[in-house]
Structure 1
Amino acid sequence: MKKLLQTIILLFFFSLTSTVSFAQGYKIIGKAIGFADSTKLYLADVTDGSFKPIDSTYIVAGDFRFEGKLKHKVVQTYIHTKNFADRVSLWLENTTVHFSAEKGKFKQALIEGSQTQNLWTELNKAIKSSKDEKEQYVQFIKKNPDSIISAYLLSLFSTSWGNKTIRDLYGNLTPENKTTSYGKNIETYLALSKDIQIGGSFVDISQPDTSGIIRKLSDLKGKVILLDFWGSWCGPCREANPKLVTIYNEFKSKGFEIFGVGAETSKKQWVTALKKDGLQWVNVSDMKGDKNEAALMYNVGQYPTNFLIDKDGVIIARDISIENLRTKLKDML
């Protein structure tokens, strides 16, 4: 009876310690050299591409600490200063992480403790010593189908690697990895992406304008159309807009139109940019940022990206320069 009681107590103890271990959260023990006391550091979740605050703390005598508990096994985070002058990404898990960096050199920070972060470090070392960056990524994804990094990479490069490559690699991911936010992004991309080719017909787009009215690309058929993927946050896009306005005013009476698709998440920022840049043509956005469904359909991975479509709805050029656009329009119109 005594031995049975001891066994029960031991089982209870192991069960309790196991539960405590499982329930423990993350702890970032950090050292940041070169900062004044009371400099504030922030920890942000960047899973969806934007900085969502998790916590903040202060540097005291070169030391700082973050503590908390993640709802997911692994979360892509950033540690950064208020002005983002110093920032570095970190794959955070519910474990103890040691962080060490100097002011102005956060991207060279030494980060230890997270298994996923260790994998990330190894991958980046392999890329630096390789002449074929894509191949290193592909081999990593094949060897690590259960790593969230693999799902992240496929989501990141989906529009540039193309449907077939992404579909093949996505098929090798573990079921758990496919249910992550990155896995769901890939699934959406695979469902939406089309085989857009120069010489082929355009694929119709249907999204709301700033007034909420649904506008279709096909409504402009019969005119020469520049399908312009841009963003209010995109420097090169904003630099090109005044030149596009000039061309639009020069050729709109001759049968030329522009259909702008904004990679936006803030309607206020989008509307402000439209007014400031004087964009009078049709502009739409589904407010999903760089996951805009039309951008996924057209495999747009960078901004600006454009497609020139003739009066018959055939795509005749991609990423045409402003100078070449004017020459082309003179010939066509």
Structure 2
Amino acid sequence: MTTRVAFIGSGFAQQHIAALAHIPEVEIAAICSRNEQTARQIIGDQNINYYPFENYLQMLQQEKLDAVYICLPPHLHGEIDIACAEHVKALFIEKPIALSLELADQLSQTFKKANSIVSVGYMNRYRPNIINAKNHFSKNPAILFNAAWSGELPPPYWWRRREMSGGQLTEQATHLIDSIRYISGEFKEVQAFSTSGFIDDVKDFNVDDAIVMNFQLESGAIGTVQTSCFSKEHGGGELGIYLELASREKTYRFHNHCMDLELQHSQANKEIFNSIDNPVLAENMAFFDAIKNGSHEAILSPYDDAVESLKVSLAADISIREKRSVALASL
């Protein structure tokens, strides 16, 4: 049985479309995007209909879809998600899912009422290296974390506007926050600090130059997540992307966007596990298994779980504004 899908937004759509080429029962019917040039490049010579962004409702009504991928900047979530839930049974939503808990909770209730199947694009959960760590630390709890997403300023205009992206902790480093939650459980409390004013040559820039978020998990473990986007291109001078965590028995060090792993058993015994997996394909296969079976069971990042990851970065924003620590239970 063929499953007809469409895309709203072209952000990360190309990676999903490439993955869907490996799932025979999927038919990509349409893409709706603000950027026609990018959409046309993605479509190429494929038999995929293009709709201007303002015509998303027309696409939902005409294409007889089974699923929709929402690949939009964070500030565009809301009415589009609700409309999709009214017209299709399954949604794949790229992170972050919203810029406020009020909207995220509203959408959660909408999806429950519509009995929607929803998967959120936290692809690290499908990486064997991350699953390996989850299995280890479930038996030997992690004690200390150190993580960073530090690089150059991404080019999209919306990314540099706080009201559109939510800032780097919410938009990019949410992958690190979600990975920590997936491996070691829920955040209990955060305290965050930010700095700005060093980036003085970028028009309309109003997000933080850098953030440090200290935290404690419900397990008692502690750690820090850093973000920065101030680096100019100077030979890899930025700190990069990494996640390090240790129990009394082992240390796991993940590096780069693909989460390559150095696993340290002892001073003399280290193993290297380079990422050769395809987590985008894995999360898409899980999504279509869920559609086929009518159950969220195969999905490792359902919507309500993604809300919990969003809470962490929003708690950090409150901490920065109000100069205090914030308990997650207070949100």
Same fold (TM over 0.5): no
Instruction: Return the TM-score normalized by structure 2.
Output: 0.29
Q: Which has the higher contact order (CA 8 A, sep 6+)?
A: 2
Q: Which has the larger radius of gyration?
A: 1
Instruction: Return the TM-score normalized by structure 1.
Output: 0.29
